[in-house]
Amino acid sequence: MKNTCNITDKTEMLLCFNEHFVSSGSLFNSIKHSAEYSLPVNHEDLTHNFSFSLFTTSEVSKALKLLDPTKSAGPDDLEPYFIKAAADSIALPLTYLFNLSLSTNTIPHAWKSAYVLPLLKGGDPTNLNNYRPISKLPILAKVLEGLISVQLKEFLISNNILSPSQSGFRKQHSTTTAALKVLNDISESLDDKRHCAALFIDLSKAFDTVDHTVLKNKLRSIGLSEHSVGWFANYLSDRTQCVKVQNQKSKFLKVSAGVPQGSILGPLLFTIYINDLDKGIIDNLHLYADDTILYTSALSVELAISKLQSAFNQLQNTFYHLKLVLNSNKTKYMLFSKSKAKLKNLLPITTKEGHLIELVTEYKYLGILIDDCLTFKPHIQKLAHRLKLKLRFYFRIKSCLSFEARKKLVTATFMSVLDFGDVVYMNASADALHALDTVFHGALRFITNMRSLTHHCLLYARVGWPSLSQRRLKHWYLLIYKCILGLVPSYLQQLIELKSSSSYSLRSQDTVLLSVPRVRTEMGKKAFRFAAAQFWNELQKEFKLKELISLGSFKKLLNERETKLSNCKCFI
């Protein structure tokens, strides 16, 4: 729909999408800002210095061989399949071209064009704001971006530049680790008889509104040389895009702001762009790309809200100077408190422009539906409902598929959904988790073609899978062991502590144990800090590990344990 008129011509529809996506870059300038925003606190520039290193032929050849041959061609019409097949032959000339780009700070114009696919995020499909533009770049441009990304990431990691509160697009970080950190802090606050207030912040078109001048200054501030900044300046300038769906496409339009979504460098550059978001904020803030949560705790609800409002005001100052636009309609806040009677007649949370932020009892954070009592019942119920709808369709086509085909279908589309975030909600009540067991058993009956009253142990044995509770527990033990090995973000690793040998009992002095913190309530027992230590020490009664072993060896131990526990004793 354009200017309240329905559009039926496909070419015009694609042009409308493209014009909308391109105009998102000027969203900040199109909004009238009536509030006053203070200048951000100046921080000393880092002393690190980054300059590009020329690529070797072997690096380029390796990057070419890692291409996914199933991907389609970009605007350059070069198929990844053929580029990968010819890797050994074209690596040398491409190395020369890539190094020429680094030395001259010039990227071929053809490599700065993109096909954009509109991806519906949800909501009304006639509303263009509900679509996310995903860029498909020329294949050689993506190879170059990948090589640049390796060098830049190595610099960021070795100099510890990225904020520890940022989990997006980082190795060993995930939505699960981010959610566990936030929920641990909230649970510990409640266990400490404090009240917690959390603000779930939504930004409008965050990737598309990145200001190139501000981004270049950010790159300088973290230690990139002027020559390196010059390359990124050229990378960002004179970019064009068109919207392409199937075999139809719009005309190309110039892009003056933002970083391309779907590119390799885009997410990394955005992470650098908002890297200082938590500077000066004394309260808890965590980010996963542009998904931001700000949360505070205090001895009273009123004080927790007051602290949240103060931190929110400070955060809005940073958004303003980054030219990022807050979406006040989708930004929500939630209160976590044992005293629900105290949650009446509270002061509202407002933006600096005076917009009220809605108080909610549920919010979907990083794919997990969080409720203000941390029961996870709403999440589990919606997850079970979604899987039931999928299962009904599967049963309609059951006769068309073999046993192996049915098993592969459930593995790919069912188990991946059940596995996502399962360690986050694993401590929900047995009644809530039973809904997932029911739909899981239905999936097993679909695979095995067994009758509805078949005992679940027979279903497990026929398919060769453990129960969901065993599956969740295995994922949980793996996560804990990764924490012990230091293979998780520092914010999770800091929540566990190896028990000193001097405090071991005589019987267990040769095993690896974790210190279990004291908690007051059942809520405290659900915090990651307590639950991880408690579960691990219980496992050690069985494993009795005297020293740390490799992650692969630990997985084998868990698999053997899972096989042993899977032996049904129901009929003995």
Average pLDDT over residues 235-241: 94
Q: Is residue 86 part of a domain?
A: yes
Q: Which residue has the tokens 């530049």?
A: 161
Q: Is residue 340 part of a domain?
A: yes
Q: What is the CATH number of the domain that holds 185?
A: 3.30.70
pLDDT digits (tens, 9 = 90+) for 445-477: 999 999 888 888 899 999 999 999 999 999 999
Nearest to 395 by CA among 381, 384, 410: 410
pLDDT at 504 over 70: no
Q: Residues 88, 143: one domain?
A: yes
Q: Which residue has the tokens 């909610």?
A: 360
- Tell me the H-state helices in 237-330: 265-273, 301-321
Q: Residues 247, 346: one domain?
A: no
pLDDT digits (tens, 9 = 90+) for 387-403: 999 999 999 999 899 99
Q: Residues 159, 14: one domain?
A: yes
Q: Is residue 34 part of a domain?
A: no
Residue 503: predicted pLDDT: 47
| Domain end point (choices 448, 465, 482) | 465
| Domain end point (choices 437, 465, 493) | 465
Number of domains in the chain: 4
Q: Residues 322, 408: one domain?
A: no
> Using the 8-state DSSP alphabet, how is residue 260 labeled?
-
Q: Residues 65, 83: one domain?
A: yes
Q: Residues 146, 220: one domain?
A: yes
- Name the pLDDT band for 570 (thresholds 50, 70, 90): low
Q: Residues 104, 144: one domain?
A: yes
| Domain end point (choices 433, 465, 497) | 465
Q: Is residue 1 part of a domain?
A: no
Q: Residues 95, 154: one domain?
A: yes
Query: Domain range holding 531?
Result: 471-566
Q: Is residue 271 part of a domain?
A: no
How far is 395 from 402, CA to CA, in rounded Å? Answer: 13
Q: Is residue 252 part of a domain?
A: yes
Q: Is the pTM of this model over 0.85?
A: yes
How far is 343 from 347, CA to CA, in rounded Å? Answer: 10
Q: Is residue 331 part of a domain?
A: yes
Share of residues in the chain with pLDDT > 90 (%):
72
Q: Residues 460, 480: one domain?
A: no
pLDDT at 37 over 80: no
Distances (CA, A) of 328 to 182, 200, 201, 450: 22, 10, 8, 51
Q: Residues 281, 232: one domain?
A: no
Q: Is 53 or 8 the better-scoring residue by pLDDT? A: 53
Q: Is 343 or 86 the better-scoring residue by pLDDT? A: 86
pLDDT digits (tens, 9 = 90+) for 512-566: 999 999 999 999 999 999 999 999 999 999 999 999 999 999 999 999 998 887 7
Q: Which residue has the tokens 């009123």?
A: 302
Q: Residues 199, 291: one domain?
A: yes
Q: In a 3-state reduction of DSSP, which class is residue 368? A: strand
Q: Is residue 306 part of a domain?
A: yes
Q: Residues 132, 108: one domain?
A: yes
Residue 1: predicted pLDDT: 47
pLDDT digits (tens, 9 = 90+) for 315-344: 999 999 999 999 999 999 999 987 765 566
